[in-house]
Amino acid sequence: MTRLLFLVILFFATLAEAAPLWMDFDSSGGTRVTVKGRVKSPILDTAVRELALHYDGDVTIDLKSDKSLGRDGFAISETPGGITITASKPQGALYGAYRLLRNVKAGYPAASGRSVPAYGLRILNHWDNLDGTVERGYAGKSLWKWEELPATVSPRYEEYARACASVGINAAVLNNVNASSRILSAEYLEKVAALADVMRPYGIAVCLSVNFASPVQLDSLPTADPLDPAVARWWKRKADEIYRLVPDFGGFLVKANSEGQPGPMDYGRTHAEGANMLARALKPHGGIVMWRAFVYSPLDEDRAKQAYLEFQPLDGAFDPNVIVQIKNGPIDFQPREPYSPLFGAMPSTPQMVEFQITQEYLGHANHLAYLAPMWTEFYDYVAPESIVASSGVANIGDSECLTGNPMAQANWFAFGELSWDPHATPAEIADEWLRLSVYRRDAAPDAAVHDALMSMMLDSREAVVDYMMPMGLHHIFAFGHHYGPEPWCDVPGARADWLPRYYHRADSAGLGFDRSPSGSDAVGQYPEPLRSRLSSIETCPEEFLLWFHHVPWDYTMPSGMTMWEQLCASYQRGVDKVAGFQRVWDMAEPVVIPGLYADVRGRLMTQMRDAEWWRDACLLYFSQYSGRPIPLDIPRPVHTLDDMRAVNLGITNFESPAPQLLNKAR
C-alpha cells in the first residue's frame, strides 16, 4: 500500500468515529421495569438492563403464553401504568425493548402494536478468515481477534451483538464460506465458545462455515466420502464436542463443490447425500445445515442455469434440518439480477435467500448504495412465505463505524428489518435509519431536507446500476477485486465465465447475453407467465433486457431512442444522480453529525469520479462495436480508451482506491 493511500484510508477511518450506530440511545431519567412471569434468562436480563438505562418512564414486561407471538414476537401497548411489552419468550421481550427504544429516539409513537417476524432464522454470514482478513470486506480487518481469544474478549463483540439484536438478527456465521478446517480444531472451538458467551445474552446463536474435507485435513482420515461410516462418525464426534462447549450452537454453513472447494461430488455423491450426513450429526442437538446452492462448473452451459440444473432434481432428497441457501440472483450479487429461478422450484425443500450486504459489486466502501430497494425487488418476484429464512453476507469489520462507510450501516439495519418483515418498504426503513443515525441532536431537519435525504437514499442503488451496468448488463468489472470498469478484461488462462466478454457479448450486431429460447434458454427455468414475458424482446422489462437478449444497436426502445442511445442516456443518468446526491448532502450539512458529514462528502466526491470513469470507459468501449458516436448531449470523455485500458487500479480485497490515486491514474 502506498503511503498516500494509507493516509487517505486513515483519514476516512478517523472521520467515521463521529458516526455512532443507530442504538446511541439517551440515558434514562429514572425507569422502573417490572417483569411479570419472570424466568431465569440472560436475554431477559439484557432487555431489563437496556430499558432501565435508556427509557424514561415505567415499563412492564409481561411474559405469558401466547402462541401467536411465537418465540420472537412481541406487542407494545400503552396502559395506565406506562408501557407494557408482552411476549411469550425472553427473546420477544428483548426485541420489544429495542423496538420501544428505537420508537422513542426516532420520534415515533412509543406503542406500536404487535410484531412477529416472518422468519425464525435471520442470520449474518461473515466471510472472515482466521488470519484476520475478510473476503469481500471493506471495513478493515476482521472484528474477531482470533489471536487474542479466548483470553481477551473485545468490548466491540458486545457492541456488535447489541446492534444485531436491535434489528432482530438472531444468528451469525463467524467465518468464511471458503472455510479453513482449523476452525473445528479444539483450539479454535474454545475461541468460538468465548464469542458465543458474548452473543448469548442478545439472543444470537453462533454458527460455523465448515470445510467438507475437515476429517482428512484435521485428522488424516483417508476420505471425506459422506457415505463412509468412519466419516459420519467423525462428524458426529465433532458435533458432540461443539455442543459441549456451545450448547446453543446454531449449525453449519457449507460451500461444497464450488470454486474449488471440496464436497460430496468429489466421491460421486450428491449434494443431498453430503448435506444429510452432516445434518444427522447435528440433529440430536437441534442444529441445522445451511447448504449453499452457489455452484458453477467450467462448462459451456450458461452459468446462470447451473444452480437450477444441479439442485432442482434433488428436491425432496434433503433431510428436514437442511436448508438450501440460494443467492437472490442466478449469477453472483450483481448490482441488478433477476431472481434465481431455483426459488419456488423446490417445493419440498426448505430454502433460504442469501443477500449480499457488503458492497462487493457496488463500489465497496466508497459508494452510497442503499440496498433495501434491491432486496424488496427480489420480494416482488419471490413470495416471502415461500422461503423459511433470510441470510446476508455481512459488511462488518474492525473500522471505527464497523462498516467502513458509515452510510453502509443503513444496509445492516435494513437487512435486519427486512428479515423481520419482508413487506416493510425501503422508505419506511430509510426514514427510521436517518432519524436514528444521521441527524445532530441539536438540529432537527425540516421536512424539505429530510425528504431530499430520503430521495437520495432511495435512488442511490439505482444510480449505481445506471452508471455501472444499466439495462441488464452484468459482470463487467475489473478482474478479481470487482471495483472499477473493465469490459475489455482478458486474463490469460482465466475461465471464460470469469471474464466480462462471456456476459456482455458485444459485437457489431448488438449487445447482451441471449438467454431466450433461441439462445441458452435460461428463461425456460422460470415459471409462466414470467417465462413468456422474459422470452420476448418486446415484453422483457428494460432493466433485464441485456440479461436475457442480444439486442441490436438500433433496436427501438419504448422511449423512442435506439438501444445504443438508451444505453448512453442510462450511463449519463447515473452520473447526474450522483451529482444530485452531492448537492443534497451539502444542503443537509447544518443538521448532519459533523464528522459524518465530512466523511460522506469525501466519499461522494470519489463516487462522482468513479461514475464518470464508468460512463466514459463503457461508452468508449462499446462504441467500438456499435459503430455509433456518443450522443452530443453527453459530456465528452477526457481520456482515450487506450488510456483507461492501461490503468491498473491495484486494489486488493482490503483497500479501495482514494480520489488522489484515481486522479494520478488518469
pLDDT tens readout for residues 315-341:
999 999 999 999 999 999 999 999 999
Can you give the pTM of this predicted structure?
0.94
- CA–CA gap between residue 640 and residue 617 (Å, rounded): 9
Which DSSP string do the residues of 65-131 spell out, in sequence order?
--GGGTTT-EEEEEETTEEEEEESSHHHHHHHHHHHHHHHHHT--S--EEE--S-SEEEEE--B-TT
Give percent of the chain above pLDDT 70: 94
Q: Domain ranges for the chain, please list them.
A: 32-115, 121-437, 465-499+560-665
Q: How far is CA 202 from the centre of its chain?
A: 21
Split at pLDDT 50, 70, 90, the class of 8 is very low
pLDDT tens readout for residues 465-483:
999 999 999 999 998 899 9
pLDDT tens readout for residues 519-537:
999 999 999 999 999 999 9
pLDDT tens readout for residues 533-587:
999 999 999 999 999 999 999 999 999 999 999 999 999 999 999 999 999 999 9
Q: Is the pLDDT of residue 104 over 80?
A: yes
Q: Is the pLDDT of residue 266 over 70?
A: yes
How confident is the model at residue 5, as a pLDDT? 36
Q: For cell 460455523, name the residue.
A: 208
Rounded (10°) angle between helices 447-468 and 594-626: 30
Q: Is the pLDDT of residue 172 over 90?
A: yes
How confident is the model at residue 298, as a pLDDT? 67
Greater confidence, 367 or 445?
367
- CA–CA gap between residue 149 and residue 133 (Å, rounded): 16
pLDDT tens readout for residues 377-435:
999 999 999 999 999 999 999 999 999 999 999 999 999 999 999 999 999 999 999 99
How confident is the model at residue 14, as a pLDDT? 38
Split at pLDDT 50, 70, 90, the class of 20 is low
How confident is the model at residue 656, as a pLDDT? 40
Q: How far is CA 551 from the centre of its chain?
A: 31
Q: Is the pLDDT of residue 625 over 60?
A: yes
Split at pLDDT 50, 70, 90, the class of 443 is confident
The answer to whether the CB of 338 falls within 8 A of the CB of 320 is no
How confident is the model at residue 26, as a pLDDT? 86
How confident is the model at residue 547, as a pLDDT? 98
How confident is the model at residue 9, as a pLDDT? 38
* Contacting residues for 296 by C-beta, under 8 A, at least 6 apart: 258, 303, 306, 307, 497
How confident is the model at residue 21, as a pLDDT? 87
Q: What is the dotted CATH code of the domain comprising 32-115?
A: 3.30.379.10
How confident is the model at residue 107, as a pLDDT? 95
Element (H, E) at 163: helix 155-166
Nine cell digits for residue 411: 444496509
Q: Is the pLDDT of residue 260 over 60?
A: yes
Q: For cell 453502509, name the residue.
A: 408
- CA–CA gap between residue 306 and residue 293 (Å, rounded): 9
Q: Is the pLDDT of residue 181 over 80?
A: yes
How confident is the model at residue 301, as a pLDDT? 84
The answer to whether the CB of 557 falls within 8 A of the CB of 542 is yes
How confident is the model at residue 403, as a pLDDT? 97
Identity of the residue numbered 248? D
In terms of CATH architecture, what is 465-499+560-665? Answer: Alpha-Beta Complex (3.90)
Q: Is the pLDDT of residue 213 over 70?
A: yes
Active site (catalytic) residues: 259, 332, 360
User: What value does the mean pLDDT take over residues 82-96?
Assistant: 97
Q: Is the pLDDT of residue 25 over 70?
A: yes
Q: Is the pLDDT of residue 649 over 90?
A: no
Split at pLDDT 50, 70, 90, the class of 196 is very high
How confident is the model at residue 6, as a pLDDT? 33
Give percent of the chain above pLDDT 90: 88
How confident is the model at residue 355, as a pLDDT? 98
- CA–CA gap between residue 143 and residue 19 (Å, rounded): 18
What are the φ/ψ torsions at residue 114 (nearest 5 degrees)?
-90, 150
Split at pLDDT 50, 70, 90, the class of 651 is low
Closest by Cα among 663, 660, 665 to 6: 660
Q: Is the pLDDT of residue 177 over 60?
A: yes
In terms of CATH architecture, what is 121-437? Answer: Alpha-Beta Barrel (3.20)
What are the φ/ψ torsions at residue 325 (nearest 5 degrees)?
-95, 125
Q: Is the pLDDT of residue 653 over 50?
A: no
What average pLDDT does the chain have? 93
Q: Is the pLDDT of residue 461 over 60?
A: yes
